[in-house]
Amino acid sequence: MIMKNMVPKVGRDNQQFDICKTVFGNGLVIVTEKIPQVRSVSFGVFLRSGSRHEAITQHGMTHFIEHALFKGTGKRSTAQIAEETDALGGYLDAFTAREITGFYNKVLDRHLPRAFELLADLMTNPFFDPIELKKERSVILEEIKMIEDTPDELIFDIFTENFYPEHALGRPVLGTPDTLATFERELVRSFYDQIYIPGNFVIAAAGNLEHEQVIDLAGEYFGSLDAGELQLKSTTPTPASPIILRKKLELEQSHLVIGVPCPSALSEDRYVAGLLSAILGGGMSSRLFQSVREERGLVYTIFSSTNLFADCGYLTIYAGTSTGQLAQTITATMDELRRIKQESIAAEELERNKDQMKASLMLNLESTTSRMSSLAQHEMNFARFISPDEIIDQVDAVSAEDVRRLANRIFRSDALAVSVLGDLDGFMIGRPELEC
């Protein structure tokens, strides 16, 4: 059975968002946006699961399978997959995140049928050759080593592991050498069979396409798949607020992350959190950049960002500085946290940051890949299309008092988690230095 829901959206400037959604009887969801003025199509198959849905013995399995699907199918070798991808001139790629896994491509509109069949073959017909799996384990081990050699990435893994202790959301997506060593073919196939089922898929496409064409392709390659029984399990983590100091003697800089819990991706306050982060450290005019870098000269890089999940989230501040200036950098950061809690935000500053957020959103409309990704994320989070105009309205609705209210709620000394990585040379920090 196929159910179809045609949902056109019209913007204020009469821009037509030609959105169509279809649900197959086996649970597969297809969402498309027709953009006739382009000659390309971006499309992808997205799983409603990521590394947070792994048991401890499966740690890294979602990412491992994402890699393994490119290592040959029942009808194509690894080399043939690469050759066909290059021949299409596309951008076939994949990613694994904590709540979502995605496989996507961007091709000329006339190549959509061939490219769709190739991606469907990868996802529905993997061979899982033991020799190729062994090679891929080695590749991912090198990827893990690469992060160990990239301190501004490693510090975030250290932070999340300690912020969400003993929870899958806190574990690195890549897994560990110990768990990777256990990923033999039978175990890989078993986990694949659990999550690669239609009820866990959202197919999203944006570009010069016809919805019926995508429905026909999806029906041909995914429509006959058994619905299966999806059993994703994940509890909501309890955030911790430890102070973690990790020595890495060979580093010239020390790397600092300060973080606190913040509203989830589904919260009414998600846009408030985004604006709070932007005001603090979202660009060159942000408070932290101006105060800590430009006025005091303590850092080269400092920024804030949010990571929002379905049921939780966190806001982090990152800085890289010399060990001798760590204490001053933390003090300067606490000064800015106190200021945003105590003082009203000027209307001009609030509007400037709103304009920055809205400009980023509108620029993304020029990319079919971004529009495809938004379709998938909105479907998985809200089961509906959210137009840019609706997002802009919600950003515009955020007041200075909303930002100050959230800042006072989340920036508390006892809630701050701190991770520091570097040649610390006797550096120490306690809770009193985190008073904000």
What separation in angstroms does the CA of 414 have from each of 11, 337, 410, 420?
A: 45, 14, 10, 17
Strands in 252-385 per DSSP E: 254-261, 301-308, 313-321
Residue 389 Cα distances to 9, 356, 376, angstroms: 10, 15, 18
Amino acid identity for residue 18 in this structure: D
CB atoms within 10 A of CB 377: 18
CA distance 72 to 93: 15
Q: What single DSSP character describes residue 237?
A: P
With contact defined as beta carbons under 8 Å apart, do 116 and 327 qualify?
no
Please report, as a single letter, which amino acid is at residue 168: A
In contact, 47 and 41? CB cutoff 8 Å: no
Centre a 10 Å sphere on the Cβ of residue 23 and count the other Cβ atoms it contains. Answer: 15
122: tokens are: 């990868």
Let me know the angle formed at the C-alpha of 56 by 50 and 57, rounded to the nearest 5 degrees: 105
Q: Exposed/middle/buried for 363, CB within 10 Å: 0-12, 13-18, 19+? A: exposed
C-beta separation of 312 from 418 below 8 A: no
DSSP reduced 3-state for 234: coil
> Which is catalytic among the residues 33, 66, 336, 379?
66
DSSP string, 37-54: T-SEEEEEEEES--GGG-
Backbone angles phi, psi at 378, to 5 degrees: -65, -40
Structure tokens at 41: 């199509």
Angle (nearest 5°) at CA 89 between 101 and 129 = 50
Q: Catalytic: 66?
A: yes
* 3-state DSSP assignment of residue 385: coil
Q: Which residues contact 291 (CB under 8 A, 6 or more apart)?
A: 332, 335, 336
Distance between start and end Cα atoms, the chain: 57
Contact between residue 145 and residue 94 where contact means Cβ atoms under 8 Å apart? no
**DSSP summary character for residue 289:** I
Question: Catalytic residue positions?
Answer: 66
